[in-house]
């Protein structure tokens, strides 16, 4: 990049920076990338070049997590059925067991992702890690955004997951919402793995 005489920054080919970035985006859109390509921030420069996890690898981790959540959900429902009197439920508008299922789902994904430093149990077994594009470590808020973002991906009739194939950095809807990427830990350099 060079500075033009009137102070505007120009890209490598002499186009204004905005045009250069747009041309670069069009070029990247033609080829599906297997490595993360940084855009603008210093943090993104730090994660530039990380190998991204494949769809099958990510789906395997999600399925493992879903099985674990199903077991937790069943335990919660059984405890609810045994220990809570149920006469009052007929007079409420909320289906309490379904509400508890939703709470278990959100808590599992947000707490395990944050405490696991970007890895839930399923992600650990699938050898993937969620990496923040804005902070050195995944924040509790980003973990919660991702957990709620799974709902957004499902509510779009699964299109939030299909976006993996359309986005140049293999980001689904919940990844973009939380400003994260999912890296393949098997191929990551040691410096990219948090302590």
Nearest 5°: the CA angle 132, 44, 179 is 35
Task: Give the residue from 146, 151, 147 showing the smallest Cα distance to 179.
Answer: 146
pLDDT tens profile 115-163 = 999 999 999 999 999 999 888 899 999 999 999 998 888 887 888 888 8
Q: How far is it, in rounded angstroms, from Cα 168 to Cα 30?
A: 9
DSSP bridge partners of 129:
183
Q: What is the reported pTM?
A: 0.69
pLDDT tens profile 50-90 = 899 999 999 999 999 999 988 888 887 788 778 777 666 66
Q: What is the tally of helices (H) and strands (E) in the chain?
A: 8, 4
| Pairing outcome for strands 9-10 and 128-132 | unpaired
- pLDDT of residue 182 exceeding 90, the answer is yes
Higher pLDDT, 21 or 150: 150
Task: Count other C-beta atoms under 10 Å from residue 143's C-beta.
Answer: 25
Of 4-8, 91-95, 133-137, 142-146, highest mean pLDDT:
142-146
């Amino acid at each position: 990049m060079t500075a033009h005489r009137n102070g505007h920054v120009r890209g490598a080919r002499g186009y204004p920076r905005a045009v250069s970035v747009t041309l670069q985006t069009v070029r990247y859109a033609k080829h599906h990338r297997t490595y993360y390509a940084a855009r603008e921030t210093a943090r993104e420069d730090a994660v530039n070049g990380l190998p991204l996890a494949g769809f099958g690898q990510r789906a395997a981790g999600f399925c493992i997590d879903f099985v674990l959540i199903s077991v937790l959900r069943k335990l919660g429902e059984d405890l609810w059925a045994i220990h809570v009197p149920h006469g009052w439920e007929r007079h409420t508008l909320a289906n309490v067991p379904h509400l508890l299922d939703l709470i278990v789902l959100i808590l599992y994904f947000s707490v395990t992702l944050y405490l696991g430093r970007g890895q839930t149990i399923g992600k650990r077994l699938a050898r993937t890690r969620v990496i923040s594009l804005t902070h050195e470590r995944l924040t509790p808020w980003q973990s919660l955004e991702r957990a709620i973002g799974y709902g957004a991906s499902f509510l779009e009739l699964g299109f939030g997951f299909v976006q993996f194939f359309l986005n140049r950095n293999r980001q689904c809807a919940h990844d973009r919402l939380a400003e994260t990427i999912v890296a393949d830990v098997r191929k990551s350099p040691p410096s990219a793995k948090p302590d």
